[in-house]
Homo-oligomer: A and B are copies of this chain.
Amino acid sequence: MSDAPDVGELRPPDRTLMGPGPSDVHPRVLRAMSTPLVGHLDPSFIEIMNEVQELMRYTFRTDNQWTIPVSGTGSASMEAAIGNLVEPGDTMLVPTNGYFGGRMASMAERAGGEVVTVDAPWGEPLEPAAVEEAISDTQPDVFGFVHAETSTGVLQPDVPELTEIAHDHDAIVVADCVTSLGGIELRVDEWGIDAAYAGPQKCLSCPPGASPLTLNDRAMEKVLSREEAPRSWYLDLSLLEGYWGEDRSYHHTAPITNVYAIREALRLVAEEGIEERWDRHRAVAGALKTGVEAMGLEMNPDDEYWLPSLNAVRVPDGVEDDAVIEHLLEEYDLEIAGGLGDLSGDVWRIGCMGHSARPKNVSFLLVALGNALTAQGADVDVDAGLAAASAALGN
Residues in A lying within 8 Å of B, measured CB to CB:
1-7, 10, 12-15, 17, 19, 21-22, 24-25, 30-45, 48, 51, 54-55, 57-58, 61-63, 71-76, 78-79, 83, 103, 106-107, 109-111, 189-190, 199, 201, 207-210, 229-235, 250, 252-258, 260-261, 263-264, 267, 269-271, 273-274, 329, 335, 337, 340
Copies of this chain, tallied across the complex? 2
CB contacts (< 8 Å) of A57 on chain B: these are 2
Which residue of chain B has its CB nearest to the CB of A188? B1
A233–B51 contact, CB under 8 A? no
Known pairs A36-B25, A232-B79; A255 contacts B209 (CB<8 A)? yes
SS of A interface (majority) = loop
CB contacts (< 8 Å) of A12 on chain B: these are 35-38, 42, 44-45, 48, 260
B58–A38 contact, CB under 8 A? no
A76–B72 contact, CB under 8 A? yes
Q: Residue A2 contacts which of B58, B71, B110 (CB distance < 8 angstroms)?
A: B58
B39–A253 contact, CB under 8 A? no
Q: Residue A252 contacts which of B40, B41, B63, B73 (CB distance < 8 angstroms)?
A: B73
Known pairs A199-B253, A233-B79; A17 contacts B33 (CB<8 A)? no
CB contacts (< 8 Å) of A258 on chain B: these are 207, 209, 255, 257-258
A-B residue pairs in contact (CB < 8 Å), sample of 17: A3-B58, A5-B54, A7-B267, A10-B32, A12-B42, A22-B37, A30-B34, A30-B36, A71-B73, A74-B252, A83-B232, A110-B231, A110-B233, A208-B257, A231-B232, A257-B258, A257-B261
Known pairs A253-B199, A255-B207; A51 contacts B1 (CB<8 A)? no
Q: Residue A72 contacts which of B19, B31, B71 (CB distance < 8 angstroms)?
A: B71
Q: How far is the CA of A43 from the CA of B330 in the complex (A)?
A: 10
Q: How far is the CA of A15 from the CA of B255 in the complex (A)?
A: 17
A54–B329 contact, CB under 8 A? no
Which residue of chain B has its CB nearest to the CB of A338? B41
A15 smallest CB distance to B (angstroms)? 5
Not counting A4-B270, A207-B256, a sample of 5 additional A-B residue pairs whose C-beta atoms are within 8 angstroms of each other reads A7-B51, A7-B263, A13-B42, A37-B207, A209-B255
